[in-house]
C-alpha cells in the first residue's frame, strides 16, 4: 500500500512540475512582453477604408504586475480629434489636457494591471487624402519596465468624386461646366453621329473613372436625344454621375442667335449686357488675373469659344471670346483691362457674405461654402436676403427668374477691388411623399370594411330573429 502511495505521490510531483510552468504562461495576470499592446480598429494591410468623420478606436491592452503604468501618444491634432476614453472601473485613470499623456493606477485588491482600455479618436476632413501616424511612446510601468514604441498608420480616404473639366468634341454644353453641376444639354447638327467625351478628374491621385463611363471615348449618337454619362468613384467608394443630354437637330443653319445671355468673370467691375460687345475695366495692382467663371447662351444651339484666363500685366491687357450661331455667324465680346501700378490705390478685397437666408428654407449658411442645394416643389421666385461682410462690396443676384428643376441661382459678391466670390443655389424637384395618402386610403378602407361587416352581421342577426318569431 505504501509503495502504491509513494508511486502516486511521485506521479503528482512530476505532473505538478510540468503543469506549473504551463499555467504560469497561461496565467492572465502574468506579465507579458510587451506589457502594453495596442490594437487599432483599422488595419491598412487589410485595405480598411477610413473616411473623414470615422471613429478610430485603439484597444490598449495592459499586462503588468505593477500597480502603475503610463504612456504618451503622438498624433497630429489637425488630422485626428480626441473623442473619449473607456477604462475598467478599478483603474484610477488620468489624461493630460492635450490628450497625449496617459497614466493608470490599479485600485484592485490583487494590485496588478491586466485589462484593456479603449481610446477613441475621430478623423477630420482636413486629413482627407493624407496618412495619419499614431505613436504610443514613453511607455513605463511602476516597477521600472519600459516598452518599445508602436506606430500605427492609416490613410484618410479622399471623398472627392468630382471632375474639374468636362466637354464634347461637338456642341457647347449648357450651362457652362461647374464641378457641382451634374446635368447639361448640348445641341449638335443631325449629321453628327459620334462625339468624343473629354474631361479631367478633380483629384487625379485618389479618384478613378468607373469602367465604361470614363472620358477620352467615342460615343455613337443614334436618336434625336442621347444621354452620355461620366461616372467618378472616389477613394472612399462614393460615386458621382455627370450627364450630358446630346440633342441632334435637323437644321442648325437657320439659327442666327449668337449672343450670351449671362456672363460672370472673376472680376466684377462691369454688369454684363448681351448687346454690349466691349467692356473697359480698371483694376488695382493686387488683381493679377482675369478669367470667365460662368456663362449661359441665348440659344443652346450656338457654340462658344472661351480662352483660358490671362495673367494681367501692369498696364493694358485684352481678353476676348467668340459666340457662333448655328448659321456660323460670329459675335465677339472684348474686355480691355488696365492693371494699375503698385501702390497707386489700395482697395478692400473682402467679398464674403455675412449672411444668406432664403424664405421658407433652412440653408445652414457658411460663408466658406459656395454651393447649396434646395429640394422644392415650388419654383416661384426665391425670397433671397443677403448681407455682405464689407459695406464696400456689391451684390448681384442672377438667374432668380423662370425657375425650374435644375435651375441655378447665382449670388455674385464683388469686393471693392473687383474680385468676385460666387455663391450658387441649385434647385432640384422634390419628389412628393404619398405615404400619408396611402396610409389614409388603407386605414379608411379597413374602417369601411369593418362598418360593412358589422352592418351585415346585425342584418343577418335581425333576419334570424324574425324567422324565429314566425316559427
CA–CA gap between residue 137 and residue 152 (Å, rounded): 12
pLDDT at 6 over 60: no
CA–CA gap between residue 10 and residue 32 (Å, rounded): 32
Predicted confidence at residue 221, as pLDDT, reads 92
Q: How many residues does the chain have?
A: 471
Q: If pLDDT is split at 50, 70 and 90, which confidence band does 167 have?
A: very high
The HSE-up count of residue 408 (CA atoms within 13 Å, CB side) is 21
Percent of the chain at pLDDT > 90 equals 34
Predicted confidence at residue 444, as pLDDT, reads 64
C-alpha torsion 11→14→16→20, nearest 10:
-160
Lowest mean pLDDT: which of 46-60, 161-175, 252-266? 46-60
**DSSP letter for each residue of 337-391:** EEEPPTTS--------EEEEEETT------TT--EEEEEES--SPP-EEEEESST
Predicted confidence at residue 270, as pLDDT, reads 81
Q: Are 199 and 165 in contact (CB under 8 A)?
A: yes
Predicted confidence at residue 39, as pLDDT, reads 85
| Each residue's pLDDT tens digit, 216-236 | 999 999 877 899 999 999 988
pLDDT at 331 over 90: yes
Predicted confidence at residue 263, as pLDDT, reads 92
| Each residue's pLDDT tens digit, 92-107 | 888 888 888 888 887 7
CA–CA gap between residue 36 and residue 281 (Å, rounded): 68
pLDDT at 392 over 90: no
Q: If pLDDT is split at 50, 70 and 90, which confidence band does 462 have?
A: low
Predicted confidence at residue 470, as pLDDT, reads 52
Q: Are 155 and 128 in contact (CB under 8 A)?
A: no
Instruction: Name the DSSP letter for residue 125.
Output: G
What is the reported pTM?
A: 0.57
Indicate the average pLDDT of the chain: 82
**Hey, what's the cell of 374?**
434646395
Helix %, strand %, coil % for the chain, to 5? 15, 45, 40
Which residues make Cβ contacts (< 8 Å) with residue 374, sequence separation at least 6?
358, 361, 363, 382, 425, 426, 427, 428
pLDDT at 467 over 60: no
Domains of the chain: 36-157 (2.60.40.680), 160-250 (2.60.40.2340), 256-346 (2.60.40), 353-429 (2.60.40)
Which residues make Cβ contacts (< 8 Å) with residue 232, sequence separation at least 6?
161, 162, 163, 201, 207, 208, 209, 210, 239, 240, 242
Predicted confidence at residue 440, as pLDDT, reads 58
Predicted confidence at residue 439, as pLDDT, reads 59
Predicted confidence at residue 45, as pLDDT, reads 58
379-399 average pLDDT score: 89
| Each residue's pLDDT tens digit, 13-58 | 444 444 433 333 333 334 344 577 888 887 655 566 788 888 899 9
Amino acid at each position: 500500500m505504501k509503495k502504491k502511495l509513494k508511486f502516486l505521490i511521485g506521479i503528482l510531483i512530476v505532473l505538478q512540475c510540468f503543469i506549473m510552468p504551463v499555467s504560469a504562461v497561461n496565467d492572465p495576470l502574468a506579465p507579458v512582453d510587451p506589457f502594453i499592446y495596442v490594437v487599432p480598429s483599422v488595419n491598412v494591410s487589410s485595405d480598411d477604408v477610413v473616411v473623414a468623420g470615422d471613429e478610430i478606436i485603439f484597444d490598449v491592452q495592459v499586462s503588468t504586475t505593477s500597480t502603475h503604468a503610463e504612456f504618451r501618444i503622438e498624433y497630429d491634432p489637425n488630422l485626428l480629434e480626441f473623442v473619449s476614453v473607456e477604462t475598467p472601473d478599478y483603474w484610477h485613470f488620468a489624461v493630460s489636457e492635450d490628450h497625449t499623456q496617459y497614466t493608470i493606477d490599479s485600485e484592485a485588491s490583487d494590485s496588478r494591471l491586466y485589462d484593456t482600455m479603449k481610446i477613441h479618436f475621430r478623423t477630420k476632413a482636413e486629413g482627407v487624402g493624407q496618412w495619419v501616424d499614431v505613436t504610443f511612446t514613453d511607455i513605463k510601468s511602476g516597477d521600472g519596465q519600459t516598452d518599445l514604441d508602436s506606430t500605427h498608420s492609416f490613410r484618410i480616404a479622399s471623398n472627392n468624386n468630382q471632375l474639374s473639366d468636362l466637354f464634347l468634341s461637338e456642341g457647347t454644353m449648357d450651362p457652362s461646366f461647374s464641378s457641382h453641376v451634374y446635368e447639361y444639354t448640348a445641341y449638335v447638327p443631325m449629321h453628327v453621329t459620334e462625339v468624343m467625351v473629354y474631361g479631367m478628374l478633380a483629384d487625379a491621385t485618389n479618384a478613378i473613372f468607373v469602367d465604361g463611363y470614363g472620358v477620352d471615348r467615342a460615343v455613337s449618337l443614334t436618336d434625336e436625344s442621347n444621354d452620355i454619362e461620366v461616372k467618378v468613384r472616389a477613394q472612399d467608394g462614393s460615386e458621382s454621375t455627370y450627364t450630358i443630354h446630346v440633342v441632334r437637330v435637323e437644321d442648325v443653319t437657320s439659327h442666327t442667335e449668337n449672343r450670351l445671355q449671362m456672363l460672370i468673370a472673376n472680376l466684377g467691375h462691369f454688369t454684363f449686357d448681351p448687346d454690349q460687345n466691349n467692356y473697359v475695366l480698371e483694376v488695382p495692382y493686387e488683381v493679377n488675373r482675369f478669367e470667365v467663371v460662368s456663362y449661359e447662351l441665348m440659344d443652346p444651339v450656338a457654340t462658344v469659344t472661351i480662352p483660358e484666363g490671362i495673367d494681367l500685366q501692369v498696364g493694358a491687357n485684352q481678353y476676348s471670346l467668340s459666340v457662333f450661331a448655328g448659321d456660323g455667324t460670329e459675335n465677339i465680346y472684348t474686355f480691355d483691362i488696365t492693371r494699375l501700378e503698385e501702390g497707386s490705390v489700395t482697395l478692400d478685397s473682402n467679398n464674403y457674405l455675412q449672411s444668406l437666408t432664403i424664405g421658407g428654407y433652412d440653408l445652414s449658411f457658411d460663408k466658406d461654402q459656395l454651393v447649396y442645394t434646395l429640394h422644392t416643389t415650388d419654383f416661384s421666385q426665391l425670397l433671397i436676403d443677403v448681407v455682405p461682410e464689407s459695406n464696400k462690396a456689391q451684390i448681384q443676384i442672377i438667374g432668380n427668374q423662370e425657375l425650374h428643376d435644375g435651375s441655378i441661382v447665382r449670388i455674385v459678391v464683388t469686393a471693392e477691388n473687383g474680385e468676385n466670390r460666387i455663391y450658387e443655389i441649385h434647385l432640384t424637384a422634390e419628389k412628393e411623399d404619398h405615404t400619408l395618402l396611402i396610409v389614409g386610403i388603407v386605414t379608411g378602407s379597413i374602417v369601411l370594411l369593418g362598418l360593412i361587416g358589422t352592418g351585415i352581421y346585425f342584418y343577418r342577426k335581425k333576419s334570424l330573429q324574425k324567422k324565429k318569431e314566425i316559427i
